[in-house]
Structure 1
């Protein structure tokens, strides 16, 4: 029976972590706070650039293969990695690590579970848990971790099999267990950006859905002034009929009638500069080159190459965080099958550079090495 489940616990003794919880018993400082999680979820929903950047980080991290030192177990290990169930909708260890990494960079923490079958001899599947429902505490030693969940009635339950729990934290502060989200510090900037976009939408509502001011000015004639109210009502009726009929109509009036577009003298505020400044802050925080997000900013070819190098180093960092997760799952599978061999994670190459440039760099390095060898021989 898995520790994580989508169903509601049947009793208080059930050891489960729900994928979604709305209980008011979770205090503000309990684990990775649910309000902070909702804030980051809303941030990705409200700002498409942020969601696109995080999705690209997960995809660009790339694939991998797991090599077992015992060659006789390699085929079974490959079959397990490709077909292990993940939740109720996915399969493969790659799917599990993709969702794990997405949670890690979004919330600063990620948790998963290795679910063992009823016989206790095989891995039934993997499950990505909700970090808001988990609390991690130090054990008897500095390197021991105890995991707790909280039921709807507010009681805490210690998970009896911590070795089945997979937990990672992103950049935890000194002396703390929980990590920090990549989105930390962005809500304030994003709220300003959303306010600007909201104002732009309101301005275009006023400009696109044009409103008119029709003014009737009666002449100095006494009869004309006495009939001013009736004529104004007649003009308003004919104008409304002409504007709402769905077809083009001529408007004919007698006397001094002035028609103006409301707000025609005003100009739309230029928002390019403030919007770009805010987007620059977001992009610098997410470490994604602007051209990968569809932002057409002026960028030289050399600058784009350097940005790709920086992104490569960022992806290598995330790979180092995910590698222990992969090893933990693969090692658990091998141990349950009676194999004590170690595993090695081999990641696919990150190719963000032009193949021609890479080949030219290898050629120049080979030529430089050859020149150094010749110079060394001449000195001898």
Structure 2
């Protein structure tokens, strides 16, 4: 790759490589190959509403971002390694943030929520990396003009225009289906389950609004006396006024009535449905889709110590899969930084170790392994003697 400076920007000139032909792609001349990404605006608003309406979904994505952890760059030249890590810690991100970790958190959050994520490396007039920018999916569109070719476009009032420097744009897709650049959101499949859960919550709120804020039915039954029947309407009004006065917010008084008066709380004989079982069933579906152990989300479901350990191991594999998705993005930023300085992009990405187990348990395990090794060495010496 050769970078040539033109008008304060760097344009990448790639050699004329032989174009690859995909045999299994559609070749209908009347219907040109095109697959657009990311998901539509309506679907994105739906996933945003899910995170806003179901707190456990938003909490799970936030925990995934923190559990993925941070990384450092390892190089043979320690001076280059120091400069690169310093750049990654101090690079400007969007308007108010600094550090590549802030960029990756927003990038991964976008990727998990919508299935696609787009970012950009912003260069200065001097040809240096000045900032990293997380692009909104409402402003860009990824078009596959060929099975192995991707065109990055910017949405404008008149349509979509390809960007001038696609080599500076970062794009990723989460588990895209075959033959398409459109990723699949982590929340895919949850709208139906979440809709049932929201309906249960809304019904619980409505029932408590009706039953918790007690309403009373006051019934006056006139006797068979002619005078009582004649003044029944007037007595009912008096009873209504007295009852209204007794039930005022700042009034503490007794209600006194004459005659056959029946007072009953409305809905007192109605049995409210038990929501524990259906709510737990819906939450189990959500937690299974998000891939986090229940105890990390504050759900005190019964689980043994061995089960929690196995869930932690499974979560570790999930986090490593997300790291593999982020590695090309980190690699593109680091390679561009080194090439702009005339360096060969040779480096390794060293992620921090994922520690989900108790430090005390891990220390005890290391101690037991050391003791076992010592015993084995002692036995070998005795056998040799």
User: Which TM-score tier does this pair reach, normalised by the shorter chain?
Assistant: 0.7 to 0.9
Partners of 2:214 and 2:287 in 1: CA distance: 37
Relative to structure 1, is the Cα distance of residues 118 and 190 closer, same or farther in structure 2, using a 3 angstrom cutoff? same
Q: Which residue of 2 aligns with 1:117?
A: 124
Q: Distance in 2 between matches of 1:118 and 1:90?
A: 21
Cα separation, 2, equivalents of 1:92 and 1:320: 20
Q: In 2, Cα distance between the equivalents of 1:269 and 1:167? A: 48
Partners of 1:376 and 1:145 lie apart in 2 by 62
Conservation of the 8 A alpha-carbon contact between 1:68 and 1:341? no
Provide the rounded CA distance (Å) in 1 between the counterparts of 2:74 and 2:143. Answer: 33
TM-fit CA distance, 1:372: 7.1
Distance 1:186 1:245, change over 3 A: closer
Aligned residue number for residue 67 of structure 1? 74
2:78 & 2:249 partners in 1: Cα distance? 80
How far did 1:118 drift? 2.2
- Residue in 2 that maps onto 1:8: none
Deviation at 1:131, TM superposition (A): 2.3
1:127 and 2:133 correspond: yes
Deviates more, 1:203-212 or 1:337-346: 337-346
Taking structure 2 as the reference length, the TM-score comes to: 0.86
Offset, 1:79: 2.1
Q: 1:66–1:344: 8 Å Cα contact kept in structure 2?
A: yes
Residue of structure 2 aligned with 1:48, choices 51, 55, 59: 55
Deviation at 1:298, TM superposition (A): 1.3
From 266, 270, 274, the counterpart of 1:270: 274
1:233-287 CA-partner distances (Å, limit 9, x unpaired) = 1100111111125121111111111100001111211000000000000000001
Does residue 323 (structure 1) correspond to residue 322 (structure 2)? The answer is no
In 1, the alpha carbon distance for the partners of 2:267 and 2:136 equals 51
CA contact (8 A) 1:145 1:162 kept: no
Within a 5 Å distance, the mapping from 1:287-302 to structure 2 comes to 287-302=291-306
Q: 2:153 maps to which residue?
A: 148
Q: Secondary structure at the match of 1:251?
A: coil
Aligned positions of 1:232-251 closer than 5 A: 232-244=236-248, 246-251=250-255
CA apart distance, 1:70: 2.5
Q: Distance in 2 between matches of 1:124 and 1:143?
A: 30
Q: Does 1:356 align with 2:356?
A: no
Q: Count residues with an aligned counterpart.
A: 352
1:266-316 CA-to-partner distances (Å, cap 9, x unmatched) read 121100000000000000000111111111111222211111111111111
Match of 1:10 in 2: none
| Aligned positions of 1:157-306 closer than 5 A | 157-244=161-248, 246-306=250-310
Q: In the TM superposition, what are the counterparts of 1:10-25 in structure 2 within 5 Å?
A: none
Match of 2:87 among 80, 84, 93: 80
SS at match of 1:292: helix
The corresponding residue for 2:21 is none
Alignment CA distance shift 1:254-1:29 (3 Å): farther
Q: Distance in 1 between matches of 2:101 and 2:49?
A: 26
Q: Which of 36, 40, 44 pairs up with 2:43?
A: 36
Unaligned runs of 5+ in 2: 1-7, 10-34
**Equivalent in the alignment of 1:345:** 349
Following the alignment from structure 2 to structure 1, what is the Cα–Cα distance between the partners of residues 207 and 345?
66
Contact 1:32 1:134 in 2 (8 A): no
Counterpart-to-counterpart distance in 1, 2:377 and 2:285: 48
The secondary structure found in structure 2 opposite 1:244 is coil
Contact 2:114–2:186 (8 Å) recurs in 1: yes
Q: CA separation in 1, counterparts of 2:69 and 2:323?
A: 9
Cα distance in 1 for partners of 2:365, 2:211 equals 55
In structure 2, the residue corresponding to 1:263 is in which secondary structure? coil
> How far apart are 1:59 and its partner, in Å?
0.6
The corresponding residue for 2:142 is 136
Closer/same/farther in 2, CA of residues 33 and 338 from structure 1, 3 Å limit = same
Q: Residues 193-228 of structure 1: CA distance to partner in whole angstroms, max 9, x if unpaired?
A: 000000000000011211000011111111111111
